[in-house]
């Protein structure tokens, strides 16, 4: 059986760690009563030993630097290590390599505790079979690589963003790929013996497994009555997913394509008061048919997470419930538009129609649907509740009256759970 191994450096290759490092440096400076380090100073922070930085970059005495290091480490252990971001495309690349039968490992200058915590926290541990971390006694990369390289490995690679990774790989006799998205320059990587340069994470999959196929992304939708806070929550969810390395794309319905946006104008313009209910439902479905084919399916096929502000469920709630066309009729009318394309998860921001009305009236001009009477919105709300009871597994329901940070936390937790589970499934 072929045994191919790829080893990755952690900081600067799988994850970008500067945010946590900088926050801890600022915190330690503040607690020690020193002025906040500026951007230029912080840039020099990544790399040298902490004591050196506190002394030379902030002007502390040896004794102060030792105390500052303690404060720094306390914060780093508690929160700093998670103020990290998985680089875009890393998840898809790791999945594709695993699917190609390649074994994966992590070789890092970080101690084992935080390395495991970070890999666990970001759901990367499931891809990794071996970990080799620096100890106080041995930190050289070639030694770290040799200590995890199986004797029967037929092919092995080291992927890293600094010269130490490339030099270590060369000395350990493995192939080398320079990760140009990290902290080192292409020149540094080549000079240190990089055989290949990967400009983004996916390029690693193409070098190791030529012709590798990108794993599918996911389609998510956000639903709720007008004024339920969808836009804010879309932004907050996106930031949280991006921290995990998911590549997120936004879209909306009606709209999301040039044709869809034209249909949106027709639908929402208050000049079109004579529009019949069936025309309205068909126009939403027509915009959706275009959107599914032009945007949603291509994004998912390219490995991205497409997060859509409203989808089919809006039609069921607004046209099926609000306009009283009925749930089944609206679903039938949309069957051709969506075929089998349905969201993996739908987030529902639960807000009763009266609060929604109060929030809407406080906002700017109302569109044709928003301007509808209270009974209409009460039926829309009911429509959503019927949908949720029909599809409990697809829905994540959150109370939209809670504090927005709390809502965002709840949503991210549940959505991430689903996305990470889907990665494991295949
Ligand atoms: P939206 O863009 O959410 O407007 P806003 O952000 O101003 O609330 O949606 C536009 C309107 O279209 C909204 O009132 C809901 C309605 N709508 C339907 O009636 N059916 C549908 O299928 C969709 C997608 C939206």
CA distance 325 to 281: 9
Task: Spell out which residues line ligand 1, taking CB within 6 angstroms.
Answer: 226, 252-254, 268, 284, 309-310, 314-315, 318-319, 369-370
Ligand 1 atom with the shortest distance to the CA of 309: 3
Ligand 1 atom with the shortest distance to the CA of 316: 22
CA of 161 to the centre of ligand 1 (A): 45
CA of 406 to the centre of ligand 1 (A): 25
CA distance 285 to 329: 12
Ligand 1: residue of 230, 254, 260 to mutate (most ligand atoms within 8 A of CB) is: 254
Q: In this predicted structure, what is the pLDDT of residue 174? A: 97
Ligand 1: which residue has its CA nearest to atom 8? 226
Ligand 1 atom with the shortest distance to the CA of 267: 12
How far is it between the farthest Cα atoms of the chain? 79
Ligand 1 atom with the shortest distance to the CA of 285: 22
CA distance 48 to 43: 11
248 touches 242 (CB < 8 A): yes
CA of 360 to the centre of ligand 1 (A): 13
Ligand 1 atom with the shortest distance to the CA of 231: 6
Ligand 1: which residue has its CA nearest to atom 19? 318
Ligand 1: residue of 314, 329, 379 to mutate (most ligand atoms within 8 A of CB) is: 314
- pTM for this prediction: 0.91
Q: In this predicted structure, what is the pLDDT of residue 365? A: 76
The 3-class secondary structure across the chain, one letter per residue, is: CCCEEEEECCECCCEECHHHHHHHHHHHHHHCCCCCCCHHHHHCCCCCCHHHHHHHCCCCCHHHHHHHHHHHHHHHHHCHHHCCEECCCHHHHHHHHHHCCCEEEEEECCCHHHHHHHHHHCCCHHHCCEEEECCCCCCCHHHHHHHHCCCCCCEEEEEECCHHHHHHHHHHCCEEEEECCCCCCHHHHHHCCCCEEECCHHHHHHHHCCCCCCCCCEEEEEEECCCCCHHHHHHHHHHHHHHCCCCEEEEECCCCCHHHHHHHHHHHCCCCCCCCHHHHHHHHHHHHHHHHHHHHHHHHHCCCEEEEECCHHHHHHHHHHHCCCCHHHHHHHHHHHHCCCCCCEEEEEECCHHHHHHHHHHCCCCCCCCCCCHHHHHHHHHHHHHHHHHCCCCEEEEECCCCHHHHHHHHHHHHHHHHHHHHHHC
CA distance 100 to 314: 40
CA distance 15 to 340: 35
Q: In this predicted structure, what is the pLDDT of residue 150? A: 92
Ligand 1: which residue has its CA nearest to atom 22? 315
Ligand 1 atom with the shortest distance to the CA of 318: 19
CA of 226 to the centre of ligand 1 (A): 7
Along the 426 residues of the chain, how does pLDDT read in single tens digits? Answer: 569 999 999 999 999 988 999 999 999 999 999 999 998 898 888 767 788 899 999 999 999 999 999 999 999 989 998 899 999 999 999 999 999 999 999 999 888 998 999 999 999 999 999 999 988 778 788 999 999 999 889 999 999 999 999 999 999 999 999 999 998 899 999 999 999 999 999 999 999 999 999 999 999 999 999 889 999 999 999 999 999 999 999 999 999 999 999 999 999 998 999 999 999 999 999 999 999 999 999 999 999 999 999 999 999 999 999 999 999 999 999 999 999 999 999 999 999 999 988 887 777 677 777 777 889 999 999 999 999 999 999 999 999 999 999 999 999 999 999 999 999 876
CA of 416 to the centre of ligand 1 (A): 26
CA of 309 to the centre of ligand 1 (A): 9
The closest alpha carbon to 153, from 129, 180, 123, belongs to: 129
């Amino acid at each position: 059986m072929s045994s191919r191994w790829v080893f990755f450096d952690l900081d600067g290759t799988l994850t970008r760690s500067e945010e946590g490092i900088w926050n801890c440096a600022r915190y330690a400076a503040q607690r020690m009563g020193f002025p906040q380090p500026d951007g230029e100073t912080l840039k020099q922070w990544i790399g040298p030993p902490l004591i050196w930085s506190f002394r030379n970059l902030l002007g502390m005495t040896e004794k102060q630097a030792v105390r500052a290091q303690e404060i720094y480490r306390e914060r780093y252990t508690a929160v700093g290590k998670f103020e990290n971001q998985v680089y875009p495309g890393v998840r898809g690349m790791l999945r594709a390599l695993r699917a190609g039968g390649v074994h994966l490992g992590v070789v890092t200058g970080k101690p084992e505790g935080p390395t495991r915590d970070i890999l666990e926290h970001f759901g990367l541990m499931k891809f990794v079979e071996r970990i080799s971390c620096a100890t106080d006694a041995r930190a050289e990369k070639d030694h770290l690589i040799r200590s995890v390289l199986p004797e029967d490995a037929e092919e092995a690679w080291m992927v890293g963003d600094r010269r130490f990774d490339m030099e270590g790989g060369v000395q350990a006799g493995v192939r080398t790929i320079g990760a140009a998205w990290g902290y080192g320059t292409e020149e540094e990587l080549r000079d240190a013996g990089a055989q290949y340069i990967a400009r983004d994470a996916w390029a690693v999959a193409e070098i190791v497994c030529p012709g590798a196929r990108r794993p599918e992304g996911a389609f998510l939708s956000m639903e709720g009555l007008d004024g339920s806070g969808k836009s804010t929550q879309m932004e907050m969810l996106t930031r949280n997913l991006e921290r995990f390395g998911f590549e997120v794309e936004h879209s909306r319905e009606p709209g999301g394509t040039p044709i869809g946006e034209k249909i949106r104008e027709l639908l929402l313009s208050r000049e079109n008061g004579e529009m019949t209910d069936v025309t309205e439902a068909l126009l939403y479905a027509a915009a959706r048919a275009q959107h599914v084919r032009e945007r949603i399916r291509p994004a998912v096929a390219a490995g991205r997470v497409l997060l859509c502000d409203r989808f089919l469920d809006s039609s069921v709630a607004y046209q099926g419930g609000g306009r009283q066309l009925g749930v089944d009729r609206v679903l039938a009318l949309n069957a051709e538009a969506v075929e089998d394309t349905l969201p993996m998860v739908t987030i529902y921001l639960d807000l009763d129609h009266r609060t929604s009305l109060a929030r809407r009236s406080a906002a700017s001009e109302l569109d044709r649907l928003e301007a509808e009477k209270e009974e209409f919105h009460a039926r829309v709300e009911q429509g959503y509740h019927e949908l949720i009871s029909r599809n409990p597994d697809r829905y994540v329901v959150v109370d939209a009256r809670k504090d927005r940070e709390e809502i965002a936390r709840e949503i991210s937790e549940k959505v991430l759970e689903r996305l990470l589970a889907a990665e494991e499934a295949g």
